[in-house]
Amino acid sequence: MLSVIVEATDEGERLPGILAVLTSAAVEGLVREVTIAGGGPQDLLEVLREETGAELAPSVREAAKTAKSELLLVIAADYRPRLGWVEALSLHLRGGGREAVLIGDGGSFLRRAPFGVLIGRTKASALAHPDLKRLRRELGGAPRIG
């Protein structure tokens, strides 16, 4: 099972959407816990925490340090997974896969598709200031899912 960290700097209005998407992954037994890291409107964060059970953390690094699972899925609040993402991720994990980059919906010719990273907790929390871009660079040539 995965610990999911949602990097939510100024994407407060998009948080309910991604948390709803993660519910299906939790029902499938893929997601163990969700932590919203970074910030956003404090009143919205408190409501989401109460309604969804998501934890709050001041940063991705702090969320990684307190995660219950050894494997983390770090995504941005505006990440929108592609159709079949739960099955693709489950297949990757059942096949022994560990670190990977998840490609989301929404890319275009001039805009890179949103992404998430599947990374070990130890590796993520060892970085001084982990954020999604740094974590992706850390993975180098990791497999792509999506």
Please tell me the distance from the alpha carbon of residue 9 to that of residue 59, in angstroms, as a whole number: 9
Query: SS3 breakdown of the chain: % helix, strand, coil, rounded to 5?
Result: 40, 25, 35
Alpha-carbon distance 76 to 66, whole Å? 18
Query: Which pLDDT does position 12 carry in this prediction?
Result: 65
11 has pLDDT over 60? no
Between the CA atoms of 51, 53, 56 and 60, what dihedral angle is there, to the nearest 10 degrees? -120
Average of per-residue pLDDT across 33-40 = 88
User: 34 or 146, which is more confident?
Assistant: 34
Q: Report the top-level CATH class of 2-145.
A: alpha beta
Spell out the domain ranges in the chain: 2-145
Q: Rounded to a whole number, what is the largest CA-CA distance in the chain?
A: 41
In this predicted structure, the answer to whether residue 10 has a pLDDT above a threshold of 70 is no
What is the reported pLDDT for 66? 94
Out of 66-80, 86-100, 106-120, least confident range: 106-120
Exposed, middle or buried, 7 (CB in 10 Å: 0-12/13-18/19+)? buried
